[in-house]
Amino acid sequence: MAASLKKILIGTSVAVGMSTIASLPAKAASFDFDNSETNYATYTHNSNKLWIQGNEAAAISALTDGNLQTNVELNYNNETNSSSVGFTAKAGKYTAKVSSVTTAEFNTFQGEWLNGLLNAYQPLKTVWNNLASPFQNLALEAFKSTVGFGDPNIAEFSLDKTGAMSMKTLGFFDLKAKVNTIIGGYSNTITSPLAQAKTALADINGKITTVQGQIDTLNTGIITLKQNITDANKAIDGLNGQISTAQGSVDTLTPLVANAANDPNYKSGISKLATQRTTAEKNAINNYNTLNGNLSTAKAGLATLNDKLSTAKAGLATLNGKLSTANTTLETAQNGLSQLQAKKGDVTSALATLTETQKQVDSLNNALNQIQHLQISEITKVELNGKAQYVYGFNAEASNFTAKDDGQSYSGVFSWNQAGVPVAVPEPSTILGLIAVGGLFGAAKRKNHS
């Protein structure tokens, strides 16, 4: 009887001991939302009441029900990410605080986050360093805005007394369409200016060709005008020489005619009939007539030359006027050409910038097209006993459902876990020793009772 009782006691002790060992690591955490905090909401996946805001019981249920279709969105009403919203879980000696990430916090590890993203997607990493800094910033904002990192949706969270944690957040199984929409929108802002710049450049080049042709024509005309002016000046110089000669003839003949008119034989013979004149009178009259005829011819020639000189000078003045007009027109055309060339430089520079930007957009789109699924989780801050870390990932599993309010969200599940510190348990030999000791104490106790 005593032996049988001892076996029963030992068996019972072993069972109790093994049960104790098995239960050591497992203990459900207690959850708590700050009573003053209401900026969170529980998604129920129930069309009758899709969201329950600021209800702690509903939130804790969603975090612990094992149903991915329910979740808690932190920072529900504050898309500016200026404040942190979260909850606390406690198990044993461990306290975990899970919260949303503020913009200021994200800025402290943005570079690390970006490196993680690029390392997760090699096509993006390949093109990233070839993108200009402004376009890198644009792409970064596109990734951030599609994720919406400041309001994580937490479907599950667990903490046990070893400090082990696990969490599942919901997001998009593939963000590529959303990112492509943003990049495509930016590309559309380039397409029109790029086409306008090309049209403007073609128009400017056409005007430059026209103005350059006008300048060439003006230069040719100016050369011709200058030659004509040179020729006119030479003609005027020639006329002045001829006039000087003609004037000399007039000056020479004028006194000779006067002298001939004063010749006594001329005077006496001019009043007589031709038949009555003496030979001397006839000769004097003939000499006068010859000289006077020559003087009249010289004067007529001088008058003609003076008329030609006036005409030549008028022509020269016209030529000089045309040259002045041509020079002014040439200067205007050259100024216009300079302005067109300056505009061409500006448009060419803008066109080069737009073309390079379009090239970068195309390279980023090409990289995105090489990615089967672009998966970027929202970011959650997790603190364990005051030690903080930022939790995010780039690998999702399909949830096989979407949110009922937008039909797109919650298609991807991002899982994270962190091992705890195993609780020390007695060795089997120690347990058996304790069982034996327990048996001895039991026997001794029974002996005393007897």
> What's phi and psi for 88, nearest 5 deg?
-120, 140
Compute the average pLDDT of residues 216-243. Answer: 96
User: 179 near 368, Cβ under 8 Å?
Assistant: yes
Compute the average pLDDT of residues 265-288. Answer: 94
162-176, 314-328, 434-448: the lowest-pLDDT one: 434-448
The pLDDT value given to residue 71: 97
Compute the average pLDDT of residues 122-132. Answer: 95
At 50, list the tokens. 């899709």
* Domain end call among 366, 396, 431: 366
Confidence at 428, pLDDT banded by 50, 70, 90: low
pLDDT higher than threshold 50 for residue 341: yes
The pLDDT value given to residue 424: 64
- Burial bucket for residue 369 (CB in 10 Å: 0-12, 13-18, 19+): exposed
142-146, 287-291, 372-376, 391-395: the lowest-pLDDT one: 142-146
* Residues 315 and 208 grouped into a single domain: yes
> How many structural domains does the chain have?
2
* Residues 221 and 346 grouped into a single domain: yes
Confidence at 186, pLDDT banded by 50, 70, 90: confident
Confidence at 397, pLDDT banded by 50, 70, 90: very high
* Residues 356 and 380 grouped into a single domain: no
Compute the average pLDDT of residues 406-418. Answer: 96
The pLDDT value given to residue 6: 32
- Find, among 357, 355, 366, the residue nearest to 126 by Cα: 366
Confidence at 28, pLDDT banded by 50, 70, 90: low
Query: What's the full length of the chain, in residues?
Result: 450
Taking the alpha carbons at both ends of the chain, their separation in whole angstroms is 15
User: 98 near 157, Cβ under 8 Å?
Assistant: yes
pLDDT higher than threshold 50 for residue 444: no
**3-state SS string for the chain:** CHHHHHHHHHHHHHHHHHHHHHHCCCCCCEEECCCCCCCEEEECCCHHHCEEECCHHHHHHHHHCCCCCCEEEECCCCCCCCCCCEEEEEECCEEEEEECCCHHHHHHHHHHHHHHHHHHCHHHHHHHCCCCHHHHHHHHHHHHHHHCCCCCEEEEEEECCCCCEEEEEEECCCCHHHHHHHHHHHHHHHHHHHHHHHHHHHHHHHHHHHHHHHHHHHHHHHHHHHHHHHHHHHHHHHHHHHHHHHHHHHHHHHHHHHHHHCCHHHHHHHCCCHHHCCHHHHHHHHHHHHHHHHHHHHHHHHHHHHHHHHHHHHHHHHHHHHHHHHHHHHHHHHHHHHHHHHHHHHHHHHHHHHHHHHHHHHHHHHHHHCCCCCCCCCCEEEEECCEEEEECCCCCEECCCCCCCCCCCCCEEEEEEECCCCCCCCCHHHHHHHHHHHHHHHHHHHHHHC
The pLDDT value given to residue 180: 92
Rounded distance between C-alpha atoms, residue 85 and residue 78, angstroms:
10
pLDDT higher than threshold 80 for residue 15: no
* Residues 361 and 379 grouped into a single domain: no
* Residues 169 and 239 grouped into a single domain: no
71-80, 93-102, 173-182, 379-388: the lowest-pLDDT one: 71-80
The pLDDT value given to residue 8: 30
Q: Could you tell me which residues come within 8 angstroms of residue 413 by beta carbon, excluding any fewer than 6 positions away?
A: 68, 155, 168, 169, 170, 396, 397, 398, 399
225-239, 384-398, 427-441: the lowest-pLDDT one: 427-441
Residue 238: inside a domain: yes
Bridge partners of 234? Answer: none
* Residues 242 and 389 grouped into a single domain: no
76-85, 293-302, 308-317, 438-447: the lowest-pLDDT one: 438-447
The pLDDT value given to residue 228: 97
Residue 184: inside a domain: no
* Residues 202 and 348 grouped into a single domain: yes
Predicted structure pTM score: 0.67
User: 316 near 229, Cβ under 8 Å?
Assistant: yes
Q: Could you tell me which residues come within 8 angstroms of residue 90 by beta carbon, excluding any fewer than 6 positions away?
A: 29, 30, 32, 96, 159
The pLDDT value given to residue 177: 92
CB atoms within 10 A of CB 330: 17
Residue 308: inside a domain: yes
> What's phi and psi for 239, nearest 5 deg?
-65, -40
The pLDDT value given to residue 401: 97
* Residues 250 and 351 grouped into a single domain: yes
* Residues 404 and 345 grouped into a single domain: no
* Residues 73 and 129 grouped into a single domain: yes
User: 27 near 91, Cβ under 8 Å?
Assistant: yes
Q: What is the residue range of 128's domain?
A: 30-174+374-418
Compute the average pLDDT of residues 413-421. Answer: 96
Compute the average pLDDT of residues 338-355. Answer: 95
80-89, 216-225, 247-256, 395-404: the lowest-pLDDT one: 80-89
Residue 119: inside a domain: yes
* Residues 48 and 161 grouped into a single domain: yes
Residue 123: inside a domain: yes
Residue 313: inside a domain: yes
* Residues 133 and 73 grouped into a single domain: yes
Residue 434: inside a domain: no
The pLDDT value given to residue 435: 38
Residue 433: inside a domain: no
pLDDT higher than threshold 80 for residue 425: no
Share of the chain above pLDDT 90, in %: 79
pLDDT higher than threshold 90 for residue 38: no
Tell me the average pLDDT of the chain.
87
Confidence at 83, pLDDT banded by 50, 70, 90: confident
